[in-house]
Amino acid sequence: MDTLVAGQVMTFHGDPFEIPPTEAVRVDSDAAMLLRDGRIAAIGGRAQMQADHPEAALTDFGPGLIVPGFVDAHAHYPQTAMIASWGKRLIDWLDSYTFPEEARFADRSYATTIAERYLDLLLANGTTTVASFCTIHPGSVDALFEAAEARGMRIVAGKTCMDRDTAPEALRDTAQSAYDDSKALIGRWHGRGRATYAITPRFSPTSTPDQLDALGRLWAEHPSCLMQTHLSEQTDEIDWVRGLYPEARDYLDTYEAHGLVREGALFGHAIHLTPREIDHLRASDCALIHCPTSNTFIGSGLFDMGARQAERQRVGLATDTGGGSSFSMLRTMAAAYEIGQLTHTALHPAQLIWLATRGSARALRLEDRIGSLAPGMEADFTVLDLASTPAIAQRAIRAETIWEELFPTIMMGDDRAILATCVAGVQARPA
Ligand code: GUN
Ligand code: ZN
C-alpha cells in the first residue's frame, strides 16, 4: 500500500562544499513524499501529492523536518557498554577499557544483547545506517548483522582482525584465521538483504604485515566489499607505527604495501597526515571519516575539514562510539561545528546535515541507495522536532530562516528531537 508522509522535506541539489550550501540543500516547508515498497516513489508539494494520490494513507508530521536517516560512518558497537570511560588517551584507553570489554564478546549471547541494545539506541537517535567494527569473534559479526536484519536496517560491518602481541591473547587471531573467518562471513552476509561486509583490520599496530597481506588478498578476491580501519588518530600512535614498521614511508604506507588503499577504503580519524598521505588518499579516492566527539574525548587532535574539503577528499562523519562520547549524530554534528571553529572553518548547518547523511553515504559508497530523499532512494528517513526542549524552542522561535531554526537543534538537540525514525518506509521509532 502507498503511504504519503507530509512535513517539511529536505532535498539535496549538489555538494554544499562545492556550491553555496543553501543552493545545495533545500527545504520545502509544505511537502510530501510518496512511499512504495520501501522506497521513495515521488516528492512534491503536499496539496498536489494528496490530489494525485488520494488512495495513499497519510502520515502528517506537521512542522517536523524530514531529513535522510543519519549515516554513522564509523563506530564500534562492542563499546556500547563502556562508552564514557574516564581519563585515558588512545593506547591506555584501549588497554584499560576497550580490550577487556571486547573480550566479553566471546559469549555469543552477550554479543546479541549488546547488538540489539546498540541498534535500538541508534534508531532512537535517528541513525538508520552504521558502519561498525565488531570484535575478533565471528559470532559478534553474526549478532550485529542479525539484529540489523531483524530491524530492516542497511548496515556495514566486519570482524575486527588483530594478530600481533600488542593485543591481549584473548583477542588475537592469526593471519590465516582472520582470512578464513572473514571469508566465511563475506559468504554469509555480504549483499544479503541490506548488508555490506567491510574487511576490518583494527589498525596497523595490532596486525602483522602477514595479516595485512592476507586481508589485502581477501579484498582483491571480494572487491565489492569495503575495507575499514584507523589511520593517524594520535601522534603517539604514529610513533608506535614507525617503530613497528621501520620500512614504511609513513602510516598510510603500512596499508598501501598490502593492497588496502583504494576506492572503498574507509580510514577513521585521519587527523595527523603528511602531504604524501593527503595526496595519495585523494588520488586513491579513499574515504576519511571524521569522528569529532572521539577526537576531543580521547584528546586526539583537530581534523581540518576546510583543508580536506578544499582538496576534494571524500569525507564521512561518525560517532566512533565508544571512543566517541555519544550515539547521536546531532551531537556529532555539533562537535564537528566546534572543531570547525577551532580550525577556522564555520560549517554551515546545511553542510553539517549533508555530512551526516549524503556525505557519509558517499563515504560508504551507498549514495545511490541511502543518504538523500529523492525518487528511487530507499525510504530511510528521520523526522526532527525543531522545538524539542524549552531551551531549543525559545531560540528557534526567533529564527528567520530554516537554517537559523535548525541550528539550535544541531547544537543542543538529542534523542528528544527525533520525532520518528523510518527504515525502508516503516516507522521504527517510536515503535
Ligand atoms: N584505534 C584502534 N582501535 C580503536 C578504537 O577502538 N577506537 C578508537 N577511537 N581508535 C582506535
Ligand atoms: Zn574507531
Contact in structure between 100 and 78 (CB atoms under 8 Å): no
Cα–Cα distance, 312 to 282 (Å, whole number): 7
Per-residue pLDDT of 93-142, as tens digits, reads 999 999 999 999 999 999 999 999 999 999 999 999 999 999 999 999 99
Do residues 75 and 109 both lie within one domain?
A: yes
> How large is the average pLDDT for residues 336-357?
98
Strand, helix or coil for residue 346: coil
**CB-based burial label for 377 (10 Å; 0-12, 13-18, 19+):** buried
Residue after which a domain boundary falls, among 339, 363, 387: 363
Domain that holds residue 407: 3-68+371-429
> How large is the average pLDDT for residues 25-39?
98
Cα–Cα distance, 95 to 168 (Å, whole number): 8
Residue that has been written with the C-alpha cell 581519563 in this structure: 87
Do residues 224 and 354 both lie within one domain?
A: yes
ipTM of the complex: 0.99
Residue after which a domain boundary falls, among 345, 363, 381: 363
**287 Cα–ligand 1 center, Å:** 17
Do residues 44 and 189 both lie within one domain?
A: no
Give the mutation target among 202, 238, 254, 297 for probing the ligand 1 site: most ligand atoms within 8 A of CB: 202
> How large is the average pLDDT for residues 221-237?
98
Whose CA is closest to 198, among 154, 229, 233, 167?
Answer: 229
Cα–Cα distance, 303 to 226 (Å, whole number): 23
Q: Whose CA is nearest to atom 7 of ligand 1?
A: 323
Q: What percent of the chain has pLDDT over 90?
A: 100
Q: Whose CA is nearest to atom 3 of ligand 1?
A: 202
Q: Nearest bound ligand to CA 91?
A: 1
**302 Cα–ligand 1 center, Å:** 16
pLDDT-derived band at 265 (thresholds 50, 70, 90) equals very high
pLDDT of 54 reads 97
* Amino acid sitting at position 244: L
DSSP secondary structure string, 279-339? HHHHHTT-EEEE-HHHHHHTT-----HHHHHHTT-EEEE---BTTBS-S-HHHHHHHHHHH
**113 Cα–ligand 2 center, Å:** 21
CATH number assigned to the domain comprising residue 34: 2.30.40.10
Residue that has been written with the C-alpha cell 528567520 in this structure: 400
Atom of ligand 1 nearest to the CA of 300: 9
pLDDT of 10 reads 98
Ligand 1 site residues, Cβ closer than 6 angstroms: 76, 90, 94, 98, 202-203, 230, 233, 294, 298, 320, 323
Do residues 228 and 240 both lie within one domain?
A: yes
Distance of CA 362 to the CA centre of its chain: 11
pLDDT-derived band at 1 (thresholds 50, 70, 90) equals confident
pLDDT of 283 reads 98
State the cell numbers at 244: 613497528
Phi, psi of 315 (to 5 degrees): -120, 130
Distance of CA 405 to the CA centre of its chain: 25
Do residues 95 and 177 both lie within one domain?
A: yes
**30 Cα–ligand 2 center, Å:** 39
Do residues 116 and 25 both lie within one domain?
A: no
Do residues 64 and 83 both lie within one domain?
A: no
> How large is the average pLDDT for residues 361-379?
98
> How large is the average pLDDT for residues 59-80?
98
Per-residue pLDDT of 180-223, as tens digits, reads 999 999 999 999 999 999 999 999 999 999 999 999 999 999 99
Count of structural domains, the chain: 2
Contact in structure between 271 and 233 (CB atoms under 8 Å): yes
> How large is the average pLDDT for residues 65-74?
99
**140 Cα–ligand 1 center, Å:** 17
Atom of ligand 1 nearest to the CA of 98: 6
pLDDT-derived band at 61 (thresholds 50, 70, 90) equals very high
Do residues 235 and 253 both lie within one domain?
A: yes
DSSP state letter for 33: E
Do residues 339 and 236 both lie within one domain?
A: yes
- Dihedral angle sign, alpha carbons of residues 55, 60, 65, 68: negative
- Residue 376 pLDDT greater than 90, yes or no: yes
Do residues 359 and 385 both lie within one domain?
A: no
CATH number assigned to the domain comprising residue 344: 3.20.20.140
Cα–Cα distance, 180 to 91 (Å, whole number): 28
The mean pLDDT value of the chain amounts to 98
pLDDT of 431 reads 77
Predicted TM-score (pTM) of this structure: 0.99
Contact in structure between 269 and 238 (CB atoms under 8 Å): no
Atom of ligand 1 nearest to the CA of 205: 2
State the cell numbers at 236: 603517539
Atom of ligand 1 nearest to the CA of 291: 9
Q: Nearest bound ligand to CA 101?
A: 1
The CA–CA distances, whole Å, from 140 to 8, 168, 371 equal 39, 18, 26
Phi, psi of 213 (to 5 degrees): -65, -45
Q: Nearest bound ligand to CA 83?
A: 1
